[in-house]
Structure 1
């Protein structure tokens, strides 16, 4: 008995759809495993480079740092401190492979060595003290700039050539081209020095006791408001321009035109069809921005003397505090890799073409 051509086609499509449904979770899992393996290899490479680079310095870096620490402190270092520094920068009496194993063991214990300038404070304590400030300021402003810029980009791209687009887009382009340090310095001069609305620098009022209490929290908000505003003001333009251009491209796609022809509401077509697909490339940049949050907004923290990771790295560079520089570089590298792994996972879930193409 023969089947009609339409029946054959329907049966074929049904089988293909069932097969795709069965293979989809497996494809997503395979893609994520591959990406996880890649990022683990990249993390291992970053850790290894962080181990090798100090040992490429001429002479014995650990001996030079120990000598500098003893001159600063005026006394011999404790055996535990010597062991920590030699484990980080190398003991000339040990085999290089044994040093590498010891270095990995230190990292497993979150031991990043001892700061030269702030001896005998461990680097991990300095990083732990600056990291919450950076996450609070840069993390919040990065998300705010992304949300504001993306929403304005959808509005401008959905009606390209409208009055809103012709006025806002050139202004945002101009603002995005202005160097950030100039905006930050201008904000400090006008709002801090001339008007006196905000403090000129710092993260909180030094006269208040540090703790979870209302006066201290209000102080942190007052000191962080101006840096946060400058970051959002200078960063949202890039998100808006990128989203605007992607939305203009997406509006002309067949699935958007079909949704409009079906009589769906303009808001639903705009956000569920056009914006949802135009937003996919934004996630890559957003992941990089989130990874960079751990490194802090270096210029922001320098201009405003904000006590975050960026200002800690700047101080370490000025004073040649190699253990602190090494610890911050490693932390930032691992944070960027983790953020990209999360972005790949989200991207593969939102767009099946990514995992099937791999």
Structure 2
């Protein structure tokens, strides 16, 4: 129980620090981000005055509210966050930051999440097999996948577009769905699902090819190391079948260190793949973040960064708890 109490306390403190830093950063910037945002919103509103609620939301999220202390602003900031109020976007006025993030989040989670899980599973299975057959021709998979991982992300994406979209015409080039078939936006139907899957294939392949090499190399090396452990040697001496030795003794233990890295990778799924989403103009969090930075949309930037931070913390928290169940030794460290 001490292990779980320490981990829960650590993540609570980290969560508080992350939210507090998100509160302080705009107030430490030179100038007044809140005043800049309000000016942009007024221009986006055609010069008409903004509602009192909009002004209060922006000043609470980004800058000092007149006549209130920093502590009162801090409490008001927490109150708005707990209500899901992340402010108003200046580049997409009058849309709220929460609405924009909620619209982009499913695209990123489904695409990048699925690609990350596929990459992890393929890397672990292939790495375990290559480690089991170490010294054979299968070892050539390691440098081949490592080369793919070292290729610049945007270049690999552009090559896939040039081959499968431009040359062969098999897959669409950009977007998350066919805007000509669905001009009013996403309509959840069988036709829309097929269109979304077709648009997601190339981005998913880009992510898998660029990341599978790391999982494969790590699992292969851990598998080779585990094969020399006493419990594996003992299992071989008992005459157990190679299948059981490989899967029940070697691979299961060799995969434990990769789970920590997988937890971090899952946490960063919400951050999206900025380069991939920009190349394919995919409507996810990564593209939303680029648009926020280019438009100096402080509220949207702050909201996106906060959501990414909270998701990374949540994913690592869950993986820490699972890691403690999978490997009891970590519960007794320290």
2:231 pairs, out of 246, 250, 255, with 255
2:73 pairs, out of 91, 95, 99, with 99
| Distance across 2 between alignment mates of 1:169 and 1:96 | 55
1:65 pairs, out of 37, 52, 66, with 37
Q: What TM-score, normalized to structure 1?
A: 0.90
Q: What TM-score, normalized to structure 2?
A: 0.96
Shift, 1:170, TM fit: 2.0
Q: How does 1:18-29 map to 2 (within 5 A)?
A: 29=1
Please say if residues 43 and 334 of structure 1, whose CA atoms lie closer than 8 Å, have aligned partners that are also in contact. Answer: yes
2:147 corresponds to: 174
1:126 corresponds to: 100
1:298 corresponds to: 274
> Any idea what the Cα deviations from partners look like across 1:300-333, whole Å, max 9, x if unmatched?
1011000000100011111111111000101111
2:18 corresponds to: 46
Name the SS of the counterpart of 2:109 in structure 1.
helix
RMSD over aligned Cα, in angstroms? 1.0
Matching of residue 270 in structure 1 with residue 246 in structure 2: yes
1:222 pairs, out of 195, 198, 202, with 198
Unaligned 5+ segments in structure 1 are: 1-28
Please say if residues 208 and 215 of structure 1, whose CA atoms lie closer than 8 Å, have aligned partners that are also in contact. Answer: no
| Distance across 2 between alignment mates of 1:37 and 1:259 | 41
Shift, 1:59, TM fit: 3.3
| Distance across 2 between alignment mates of 1:142 and 1:320 | 30
Shift, 1:180, TM fit: 1.5
Shift, 1:233, TM fit: 1.4
Unaligned 5+ segments in structure 2 are: none
Matching of residue 203 in structure 1 with residue 179 in structure 2: no
| Distance across 2 between alignment mates of 1:329 and 1:59 | 21
1:17 corresponds to: none
Name the SS of the counterpart of 1:110 in structure 2.
coil
| Distance across 2 between alignment mates of 1:163 and 1:225 | 30
Matching of residue 37 in structure 1 with residue 9 in structure 2: yes
Name the SS of the counterpart of 2:268 in structure 1.
helix
2:55 corresponds to: 82
> Any idea what the Cα deviations from partners look like across 1:90-147, whole Å, max 9, x if unmatched?
3132110000000000000011000011111100000000000001100000000000
Name the SS of the counterpart of 2:171 in structure 1.
coil
Shift, 1:60, TM fit: 2.8
Shift, 1:299, TM fit: 1.0
Please say if residues 33 and 298 of structure 2, whose CA atoms lie closer than 8 Å, have aligned partners that are also in contact. Answer: no
1:6 corresponds to: none
Shift, 1:61, TM fit: 2.4
